[in-house]
Structure 1
Amino acid sequence: MKKLFFTIFSLTLFISCNTDPKSSNSSVNDVKSMDSVNYISQRHLQNQRFENYNFKTEEQWDSLRTISHKKVLHKKGKVHPDIRTFGWHIYSNGSTYKNYNFSMLWGLSYFSYALQPETGSYKTIHQWKTTSLIDSAKTKGCKVFFSVSNFGKKNNTIFLRNQKARQTLIDSLSSLLALRSADGINIDFEGVSKKDKEHFTKFIIEISKNLKQDNPNYMISLCLYAIDWNDIFDIGVIDPYIDFYTLMGYDYYGSFSKTTGPVTPLKKSKKFGNGLETSVNYYKNKGVHFNKLIVGLPYYGAEWYTKKPEIGAVATRFKSHPKYQSIKELYIDSLKIPVQFDPKSASSYIIIKDSNKVYRQLFFEDVKSLSIKYNWIKSNRIGGVGIWALGYDDGYPELWDLLTEKFSQEQNAP
């Protein structure tokens, strides 16, 4: 990104992924980059970066983020009926949706209803009531969801243990969904304490029952952590109330990491620890059926300063989470830095030499790495693929075109 994400303190607790459900705690030490004290997701970072901007219009966000609306042409196609392609539109991405290929999206979620934990009302819903995004999506048959987010152990404890606040949230969402004729919600609660697991489970059941009572067609979806340190998802209990899950299949390495590494390694390795495959198998063993799972992948990277050029080196300092557009525009197109590829993690990366003793390492997803991960999702008959976040590639068509190549009904006819 052109601006750096702020470094902040937070607590998002996860439990390790393991393919053996009988030993779900045994692989915690395999997660080299993550730890329960320092971990913070890119979603949380982006929220901290922009939460104090009280903008009233998308044009203000466009100005802040220097969104140019450079028009791009997309390959024609319509998403295959058996695949759920899903993306999140972040309020701070303004009107980048004018370049979205809605025909290739099964659904999208507007991010977000920022929860006021003490009351259940919202701190802000940004442009939910006015954005043309929703109308544009519906015209192309794309379902529209509303994300509801709450970050941090303290905020989640305050909210989850307050029945009145929970009911206020449910009532508020009911009105806001009806206002825009939306299709449902996507719950993103990060940092839930193990002590609040039962409260979290109860809340999920409550909100699902209440919203479906308002409209039986509403769909309730839940964000799953890549590494669920605290085992807070009681899948066996909540599964009847969840229509689909969205796995946050990223942030295996990030601002919290002591060494450099891929944002989304595909397979477990000695160098980079657990990866996407481990996470998916963990939730499969917990009871998540693949036809209800959407695997989210990042359209952003992670960049660190190091003293050595070798990948996996000790990071001296985290730099930023640049979006795909910025990586293409600055490093690849302008500076002509060659893109390298790590086959073990199926991830692309760039090495930049700043001086004799200072390097920068940037890991990210591109057509090559995403193609491998999309093929893996298809071969395992997983329900769909998610994009965090839509608009991070604004001005470049190749990631949309790859989505068409892999998931359109025209390209994937029997």
Structure 2
Amino acid sequence: MLKKVFATLLIILIISGIGFYYYLSKTYPTTSPALTGMYYLESITRPHAKLDKHVLGFLPYWRLDDIQHIRPNLLSEINYFSLTVGNDGKLAKVVNGETDPGWRAWESEKVENLMTRARIMGTDVTFTVAALDNQLIIDVLDSDTAQDNLIADIVAEVKDKDLQGINIDFEYFGEPDAYYQEAFTAFSQKLRTAIDKEAPTTALSLSIMPLSARENDLFDFPKLVPIYDRFIGMSYEYYGAGSDISGPVAPMKGFKEGKYFFDVETTYEDYLQVIPKAKLIMGVPYYGWERSVQDAKTANSLTYPADDEKNYAAVISYARSRESTDIKKNQCTWDELAQETWCWFKDQKTGSDRQAWIADNRSVETRFAYAQSQNLGGVALWTLGYDKQYLDLWELILKKFTDQ
């Protein structure tokens, strides 16, 4: 009797296993059933956190080496950065005879597997469409054909890969002619209409620069707010590789005090004049910059032009700042206005005095707390992978954006 029961159960398990294997093969055809099964197991052992804010993580195509450290269960959305707009408006696949690196990575097995893992764990998968050159933006906005090409390609990617959202990143530097502000609004409305028709559950977001709400740039916010579901504030890179002084990548304060040319709090004060809180997502950097300076022991020292091997400028990620033997606690200071840490040291290879402004636990927690205190819609992490295997920043997400 027991043998018959055991045999029956075994047959049921085998049939169920075959059925589950078939389901995985059909539902996630680009990922092996073995991997997909592992992701299902992970979704059980690491259930998706109940986040009280939208937590978006940007994944640039050049950061795929650390993809295994990503915790999709602690993210609302993983945004792939980026697919580039070509001169004809189509998403660029080949540039100067070579496959565009963003497109190559987008079609890679690594990204396909991460998308599967994210979906199984309940995390949205989205992508950024980037136009980061003034002339390219003008050419696209001048051409109905280019806009139609771009919208068609965006819709095709959303439907082909079953994506949950699109982020538009058109970074125009300077003041465009008023016509182009109107043209961008018209393009945005055409995109919204097409998305609502072809993939109506797809979210649409727009990346905006720190001065976008203050200066007369490409964005007419009163007209754009009804079109876009979210606005992602790129509240970082206030100081960087080309700055005359070594400064914080995202100073929280200091503009009104005359110390920094602009700051994060003023950025969001400006944004909130034209964007509802619930639609506003705060960019949070997981990196800083390291520069050669004239006086390493003085904060905000003048920098040397980053034009040779001795005076190079370098991104210093959260992980690298923890692992670097140059970064010593007794040579680091917390800047109260910027709410960032800066450190000084001497480059052992070049002999140059160096200063680094870094993202650490304290600076990241300060920015998470600000987003909560202002009741913003959430945060956007730039970027996933910068923290590598360290769990601290994931634990901060749990601390600040869940009840755990």
Hey, what's the Cα distance between the residues in 1 that align with 2:46 and 2:83? Answer: 33
Q: Which stretch has the larger CA shift, 122-131 or 342-351? A: 122-131
- 1:141 corresponds, among 111, 122, 141, to 122
Distance 1:256 1:105, change over 3 A: same
Q: Which has the higher helix share?
A: 2
1:342 equivalent in structure 2: 335
Q: 1:103 aligns with which of 67, 73, 76?
A: 73
**Could you tell me which of 311, 317, 326 is aligned with 2:299?**
311
Larger mean Cα displacement after TM superposition, 173-182 or 311-320: 311-320
Q: Return the letter of the residue paired with 2:76.
A: W
Match of 2:157 in 1: 176
Provide the residue aligned with 1:211 in structure 2.
195
The answer for the alignment partner of 1:321 in structure 2 is 315
Give SS of 1:171's match: helix
1:262 aligns with 2:248: yes
Tell me the secondary structure at the aligned position of residue 271 of structure 1: coil
Q: Secondary structure at the match of 1:409?
A: coil
Contact 2:159 2:199 (8 Å CA) reproduced:
no
The answer to whether the 8 Å contact 2:61/2:81 transfers is: yes
Question: Which residue does 1:54 correspond to in 2?
Answer: none
- 2:332/2:341 contact within 8 Å kept: yes
Q: Conserved in 2, the CA contact under 8 Å of 1:79 and 1:106?
A: no
Q: Select the residue among 38, 55, 58 that pairs with 1:85.
A: 55
* Bigger relative contact order, structure 1 or 2 (CA pairs below 8 A, ≥6 apart): 1
- TM-score (normalised: structure 2): 0.78
Deviation at residue 256 of structure 1 after TM alignment: 2.2
Partner of 1:282: 270
Deviations 1:369-407 (A, max 9, x none): 111121111111111011111011112211111111111
Q: 1:296 aligns with which of 268, 274, 283?
A: 283
State the secondary structure of the residue aligned to 1:141: coil
In the alignment, which of 90, 115, 121 is matched to residue 120 of structure 1? 90
Moved more, 123-132 or 143-152: 123-132
Q: CA deviation at 1:337?
A: 6.5
1:237 maps to a residue whose letter is: K
RMSD (Å) for aligned C-alpha atoms: 2.2
Question: Which position in structure 1 is the counterpart of 2:389?
Answer: 395
Structure 1 range deviating more: 275-284 or 354-363: 354-363
Quote the Cα distance in structure 2 between the aligned partners of 1:265 and 1:90: 23
Q: 1:249 matched to which residue of 2?
A: 235
Query: Contact (CA 8 Å) 2:168, 2:207: kept in 1 or not?
Result: yes
3-state SS of 1:127 partner: helix
| Alignment of 1:186 onto 2:164 | no
Q: Which amino acid is 2:341 matched to?
A: S
> Which amino acid in 2 is paired with 1:201?
T
Q: CA 1:331–1:313 in 2, change beyond 3 Å: closer, same or farther? A: same
For 2:269 and 2:377, locate their aligned partners in 1 and report how far apart those are by CA, in whole Å.
Answer: 14
Displacement of 1:340:
2.2
Would the aligned equivalents of 1:251 and 1:264 in 2 still touch at CA under 8 Å?
yes
| Contact 2:242/2:305, CA 8 A, preserved across alignment | no
* Bigger CA radius of gyration: 2
Structure 1 spans left out of the alignment, 5+ residues:
1-74
2:375 corresponds to which of 365, 378, 381: 381
Secondary structure of the equivalent of 2:236? Answer: coil
Give 3-state SS (helix, strand or coil) of 2:233's partner: strand
Which amino acid letter does the alignment assign opposite residue 171 of structure 1? A
Deviations 1:318-340 (A, max 9, x none): 4112222222222467x677432
Whole-Å Cα distance in 2 between the matches of residues 346 and 227 of structure 1? 20
Displacement of 1:77 after TM fit? Answer: 7.7
Percent identity, aligned pairs only, is 26
1:332 touches 1:339 (CA, 8 Å); kept in 2? no
- Aligned partners of 1:240, 1:160: CA distance in 2, in Å? 20
Q: Separation in 1 of the partners of 2:168 and 2:47?
A: 30
1:272 aligns with 2:242: no
Q: Which moved more, 1:256-265 or 1:226-235?
A: 226-235
* Residue number in structure 1 paired with 2:208: 224
Secondary structure in structure 2 of the residue aligned to 1:352 = strand
Inter-partner Cα distance in structure 2 for 1:247 and 1:321: 20
